[in-house]
């Protein structure tokens, strides 16, 4: 397979997978009155406890500005509150309200149920094939990014070509 076809196929499949996941998650959380992003923030706070927006941003691998916007909406809905640090008033922690805790448990239960339903459609062998393929794709992107940013001995285009052709 030539490089253009390979890259186009990856982009098309990744976009389709992302859209399918977004659709499934939206359907899952919408009955609770939550967007997917809101539900994921609530679940993260439920699992880890009160935290700062910057830390939540790191944990969820989302820009802090996005997390802050989501938290603003959740705060207006009465699901989170901002608490100033007693020792450093500049530091603000986000925590769940009591009202959010039962909603969050319901959201997490719905998410786990949906994940189980999906897993039930896939054989153990296919699960491993999917994980192996996605791991290889992730490694490909990681190594290509490193080659492009680190200025390794090999030209980045040559490194990327060797990776996509399976020479590595």
Task: Please give the pLDDT value at position 130.
Answer: 93
Distance CA 120, CA 87 (A): 49
State the virtual CA torsion across 6, 138, 57, 80 in degrees, nearest 10: 90
Task: Please give the pLDDT value at position 66.
Answer: 93
- Provide block-wise average pLDDT over 10 residues at a time, the chain (168 residues): 90 93 89 91 92 91 92 94 82 90 88 90 94 92 81 51 50
Task: Please give the pLDDT value at position 128.
Answer: 94
């Amino acid at each position: 397979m030539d490089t253009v076809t390979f890259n186009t196929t990856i982009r098309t499949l990744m976009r389709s997978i992302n859209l399918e996941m977004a659709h499934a998650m939206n359907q899952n959380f919408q009955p609770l009155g939550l967007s997917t992003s809101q539900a994921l923030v609530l679940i993260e706070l439920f699992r880890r406890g009160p935290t700062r927006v910057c830390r939540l941003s790191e944990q969820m691998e989302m820009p802090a500005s996005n997390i802050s916007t989501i938290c603003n909406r959740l705060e207006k809905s009465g699901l989170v509150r901002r608490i100033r640090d007693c020792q450093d008033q500049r530091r603000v922690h986000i925590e769940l309200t009591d009202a959010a805790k039962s909603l969050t448990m319901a959201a997490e239960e719905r998410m786990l149920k949906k994940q189980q339903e999906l897993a039930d459609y896939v054989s153990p062998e296919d699960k491993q094939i999917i994980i192996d393929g996605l791991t290889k794709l992730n490694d490909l992107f990681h190594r290509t990014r490193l080659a492009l940013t680190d200025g390794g001995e090999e030209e980045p285009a040559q490194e990327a070509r060797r990776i996509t052709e399976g020479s590595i």
